[in-house]
Amino acid sequence: MYEITTCPPDCNFIDRNHNGLHFVKNNQNLIMPEGPSIVIAKEALEQFKGKKILDVSGYGKLDKKLIKGKTVKEVTTWGKHLIIVLGKKLAIRVHFMLFGSYKINERAAKANPKLSLSFKEGELNFYVSQIVLIQEDLDSVYDWSADIMNKSWDPGKAGDKVLAKPNTFICDVLMDQHIFSGVGNIIKNEVMYSAKLHPENIIADVPKEKINFLTKEVHRYSFDFLKWKRAGTLLKHCNVYKQEYCAVCGGEVTVKDGGKTKRRNYYCEHDQVKYSSDELHSKQHKTSPNKLTPAKGTTVKALTVKATTIKATTNKVAIKKAATNKTTTNNVTTKKAARNKATTKKAISNNTTNKSTTNKTHPKKAKSN
């Protein structure tokens, strides 16, 4: 059963400073819910399907009279929205945001529910969530083909929407809920890693086949996410999110807030390529260079350059590796790293004294040891 807890002192939920309730299962320390997690919530709520709502309470301001007496017809999701359908033009939309959670047939000890639905048998409570009523036909409200978990997911349509934002960072586009509804920070980072794309690429620079790969991968990976989330093994399966070392080259994973949205990116400087607009322009783009150059200059400046690399200070093994690594630094620089250095050189000189790029050492195979 799902539980709410206050954040423990050793909480490693580092996407935001927080002090709220956590969406957790069996005390496993988890992160803000992404599309697949909402599907799990949907499945948990389906026990109320066909049940009549006998009473409605909670401090939420939605019109409770409209809900009371209605029967739950269906529970569905759209990205990060959990939707309790009560009629053709009536549904409750719940967005857990960063700290939202729910409890079934029990209440949190230290929090009042924002919305509480009572049934003949059992009750459903929502905490710290954004909850609104939808009084329209859901098909007119939602584009189901934009939901990464939906069977109607349309990668081609998503690709077109991505290409329509040529001056946007790839890390921001992936978080655009109108294009990739349901993608959160884990899915974003993992698919950029799979695609070998640096998060600070702007769309105009990215080869089209990479965009095509991403729009398919985001859907495919989300079902792996769902499977691992159910099994409680999601973080164990992450290749780059909250990882110290890259599984491919053994280099340190860079952690940096990036894009206009300043959400946290985890990436490998060596394996995830940052394409140069000049290089790509000569190969692929027949569009006006004016479209690329000025926009890139401005967006790059907007970057947050507070770069940090994950420190292995608490990990004795990692310290040992780092020590060993100091002596072998130059021997392990790969061709890939060299190429990457060259492609990022321009961006570095343009904009930042990015500390994260100064560490080119490879604690080779540190992870497997």
Which parts of this chain interact with Zn ion (CB under 5 A)? 246, 248-249, 251, 268, 270-271
Q: Which is nearer to Zn ion, 129 or 254 (CB)?
A: 254
| 159: nearest Cα among 177, 173, 175 | 173
Number of neighbours of residue 312 by Cβ within 10 angstroms: 18
Closest-by-Cβ residue to Zn ion is 246
- Greatest Cα pair distance, the chain, in angstroms, is 72
Q: Measured between alpha carbons, how far is residue 336 from residues 97, 99, 103, 343 in Å?
A: 39, 40, 49, 11
Least Å from the CB of residue 190 to Zn ion: 14
Looking at the Cβ atoms of 78 and 245, the one nearer to Zn ion is: 245
Written as one string, the DSSP assignment of 15-43 is SS---SEEEEETTB---S--HHHHHHHHH
User: Which residue, 181 or 272, is less far from Zn ion as judged by CB?
Assistant: 272
Q: How far is the CB of 273 from Zn ion (least distance, A)?
A: 11
**34 versus 271: smaller Cβ distance to Zn ion:** 271
Of the candidates 369, 367, 111, the one whose C-alpha atom is nearest the C-alpha of residue 249 is 367
The residue (of 49 and 311) whose beta carbon lies closer to Zn ion is: 311
Q: How far is the CB of 322 from Zn ion (least distance, A)?
A: 16
- The per-residue b/e assignment along 344-358, b for 16 or more CB within 10 angstroms, e otherwise, is bebbeeebbebebbe
The nearer residue to Zn ion, 149 or 366, going by C-beta atoms, is 366
For the bound state, the minimum distance from the C-beta of residue 337 to Zn ion, rounded and expressed in Å, comes to 8
Q: How far is the CB of 240 from Zn ion (least distance, A)?
A: 9
φ, ψ dihedrals at 21, nearest 5°: -90, 150
Q: Which is nearer to Zn ion, 33 or 251 (CB)?
A: 251
Q: Which is nearer to Zn ion, 211 or 249 (CB)?
A: 249
Q: Measured between alpha carbons, how far is 147 from 149 in angstroms, rounded to an integer? A: 5
CB of 354 to Zn ion, least distance (A): 17
Measure the CA–CA gap between 335 and 177, rounded to whole angstroms: 37
Q: How far is the CB of 63 from Zn ion (least distance, A)?
A: 53
- The string over 28-58, giving b where at least 16 C-beta atoms fall within 10 Å of a residue's C-beta and e elsewhere, is eebbbbbbbbbbbbbebbebbeeeebeebeb
CB of 192 to Zn ion, least distance (A): 12
Taking the complex as a whole, the smallest distance from the CB of residue 307 to Zn ion amounts, in Å, to 16
* 270/296 with CB nearer Zn ion: 270
Q: Does residue 145 contact residue 154 with C-beta atoms inside 8 Å?
A: yes
Report the first-to-last Cα separation within the chain, whole angstroms: 36
User: What residue type is 174 in one-letter code?
Assistant: L
Q: Are 111 and 60 in contact (CB under 8 A)?
A: no
